[in-house]
Amino acid sequence: MNRLLLKIVMIGAGGSLLISNSTFSQLIPPAKRAAHVEIMQGPVLEFAREDLAIVRWTTNNPGGDPDHFAIVHYGTNPKELNQITKNHLRLNQDHPETMFRVRIDGLTPRTTYYYTVTSTESGGKSDGVRCPVEHFTTPGPGERFEAYPEPAPRPR
């Protein structure tokens, strides 16, 4: 009887360790929200080919909910940025800055697109940052664009 009881206790303890490691390690409390979020670098066109582009920018760490969305509002008319795309990311609360990147699909070759960038917490609360309208032109078929080195810091 004691052996059976010992086996049950050992199996239960091992199972609870597995569950607690996978469950509790995913729960990260929100960090203190930044008093003011600003774009420190970019936005810049990181990569483009005829049908897609990747836009990148860096802000001071906005804090708050660790789950965030990088958002690009874009269109072919600078006064009508009526298309939106966004990418999910998790903030690293130990870093003073956060790099946001958004992939924009379904673009037309050799077309100029206008855009602005922003970011939100997963619940939709804005980080309070938005850039002026920027633009890029997609390359022709078979061509591509890559922006290296990193962009210079944005003037303050």
CATH number for the domain spanning 101: value is 2.60.40.10
Look at residue 134 and tell me if it is in a domain: yes
Tell me the CA distances in angstroms from 42 to 97, 100, 122, 137, one per residue in order. 13, 10, 23, 16
- Structural domain boundaries enclosing 126: 39-146
Look at residue 15 and tell me if it is in a domain: no
**Could you give the CA distance from residue 52 to residue 107 in angstroms, rounded to a whole number?**
6
Q: Which range (28-37, 41-50, 54-63, 84-93) has the least confidence?
A: 28-37
Question: Is 140 a residue whose pLDDT tops 90?
Answer: yes
Domain count, the chain: 1
Which of 97, 99, 96, 102 is closest to 116 using CA atoms? 102
Question: What is the chain's mean pLDDT, rounded?
Answer: 81
Asked whether the beta carbons of 57 and 110 are under 8 A apart, the reply is: no
What is the pTM (predicted TM-score) of this model? 0.74
Look at residue 105 and tell me if it is in a domain: yes
> What's CA 96's distance to the chain center, in Å?
15
Question: Is 75 a residue whose pLDDT tops 80?
Answer: yes
Look at residue 61 and tell me if it is in a domain: yes
Look at residue 124 and tell me if it is in a domain: yes
What pLDDT, in 10s, does the model give residues 114-127? 999 999 988 888 88
Look at residue 80 and tell me if it is in a domain: yes
Tokens for 105, please give them.
């699909």
**Could you give the CA distance from residue 133 to residue 139 in angstroms, rounded to a whole number?**
20
Query: Cα angle at 134 between 131 and 136, to 5 degrees?
Result: 145
Look at residue 17 and tell me if it is in a domain: no
Look at residue 2 and tell me if it is in a domain: no
